[in-house]
Amino acid sequence: MTNPHWQSDAAAKRISRRNAAERRFKLLGLGAIVLSLSFLALLLFIMLKNGLGGLDWSFLSGTDSTDPDTAGVWGATKGSLLTMFVTLLLSFPMGVLAAIYLEEFAPKNRWIDLVEVSINNLAAVPSIIFGLLGLAVFINTLDMPRSSPLVGGLTLALMTMPVIVISGRNAIKAVPPSIRDAALAVGASKVQTVFHHVLPLALPGILTGTIIGMARALGETAPLLMIGMRAFVVTPPGGVTDPSSVLPMQIFLWSDEIDTGFVQNTSAAIIVLLVFLLAMNGLAIYLRNKFEVRW
């Protein structure tokens, strides 16, 4: 027996209205995604369209110049590599050691709470503030060489460290307690347990987080602007104390040029930077898929 009320015209109308609303809502969600993705596609398309023509060997091996035809990105790329080297050298050990301490050894007290709060906040502080810190401390107080990969790397290391600490803690937390219990049960000390058993198991996760943090640092411009890495550098830097530029800064400097030839250079440099970032993120995803253990 069906309820006749359900088959009335009014009910049918109401149901079809509700179904239409449902479809509209779903379409709205789909539209939001399509709009976001098409923006991404447009951005990539325009950069490829403008820049692909300029990508050749002389562009990849050349250095900055006032002439758009001879200008290249090798000087800036080398500056970026040196800066990233300094950043990695500092932030990786520091970040991993801090993550180990906070996750495995830290007592519960006010000091440790303060450390946790400051790490979480540092991860959200605008990058330009780190630039102000670098300018005030490294350059004005400690008198380190301006525009150098050393200062740039130090500044970015302070910015990257919280990211590594947070991802490192999550990776260490994911190692099940049974591993620790087993090591402790056969007589390993706490330090041995952590360094011989927990850390190797957490390492893929830590590395993934580190690569993502480094990719962020590689694309960063604002803090480096503060410490003067916008010099016009014709010779590639020979060491970490030489004045140099970095890839995103080169993009910024070229984007300001009036000569229209630099539009192609800027877009080509953006392609180079995006390829680097894509490779790093690809590596991070590969590491995660290859070594991730589901406990």
Partner 1 sequence: MILTGVFLAVIGLGLVGWFAARARARLLYTGRGSMHSMPNYHGWHMALWIIVPALIAWAAWSAIMPGLVDSVVMADPAAASLPPDAMHRDAIMAEARTLAANPNAPVFNAEAQTIAEPLRAAQTRYGLIGALIIAIVAFAGGAFGFTRIRPDFRARTHVERAVLGLLLLASLMAILTTFGIVASLLFEAGMFFKDVSPIAFLTGTHWSPGNAIGTDIDDNFGAVPLFWGTIYIGAIIAMIVAIPLGLMSAIFLTQYASHRVRRWVKPILEILAGIPTVVYGYFAALTVAPIIRDFGATLGMANPSTESALAAGLVMGVMIIPFVSSMADDALAAVPRSMSDGSLALGATRSETIKKVLLPAALPGIVAGVMLAISRAIGETMIVVMAAGAAARLSANPFASMTTVTYQIVQMLTGDQEFNSPKTLSAFALGLVLFIVTLVLNIIALRVVKKFREAYD
| 200-219 residues near partner 1, rule: CB under 8 A | 215-216, 218-219
How many residues lie near partner 1 (CB under 8 A)?
Answer: 86
CA separation for the pair 198, 43 (Å, rounded): 43
> Distances from the Cα of 64 to the Cαs of 36, 170, 270, 283, in angstroms?
35, 42, 15, 30
- Minimum CB–partner distance for residue 90 and partner 1 (Å): 9
Q: Is 39 in the site for partner 1 (CB under 8 A)?
A: yes
Nearer to partner 1, 129 or 201 (CB): 129
Binding positions for partner 1, 131-150, rule CB under 8 A: 132-133, 135-137, 140
Binding positions for partner 1, 6-25, rule CB under 8 A: 18-19, 21-22, 24-25
Nearer to partner 1, 126 or 176 (CB): 126
Choosing from 12, 30, 142, 279, the residue that interacts with partner 1 (CB under 8 A) is 30
Q: Is 233 in the site for partner 1 (CB under 8 A)?
A: no
Q: Is 240 in the site for partner 1 (CB under 8 A)?
A: no
Piece of 56-64, 174-182, 233-241, 246-254 that binds partner 1 (CB under 8 A): 246-254
Q: What is the dihedral of CA 175, 180, 181, 183, to 10 degrees?
A: 140
CA separation for the pair 118, 208 (Å, rounded): 23
Piece of 64-72, 175-183, 236-244, 262-270 that binds partner 1 (CB under 8 A): 262-270
CA separation for the pair 124, 292 (Å, rounded): 27
CA separation for the pair 189, 156 (Å, rounded): 35
Q: ∠53-58-63 over CA atoms, to 5°? A: 110
Two tokens at 233?
Answer: 């550098």
Two tokens at 269?
Answer: 């440099």
Q: Is 222 in the site for partner 1 (CB under 8 A)?
A: yes
Nearer to partner 1, 10 or 35 (CB): 35
Nearer to partner 1, 8 or 19 (CB): 19
Which residues, in sequence order, are CB contacts of 179 under 8 Å at separation 6+? 197, 198, 201
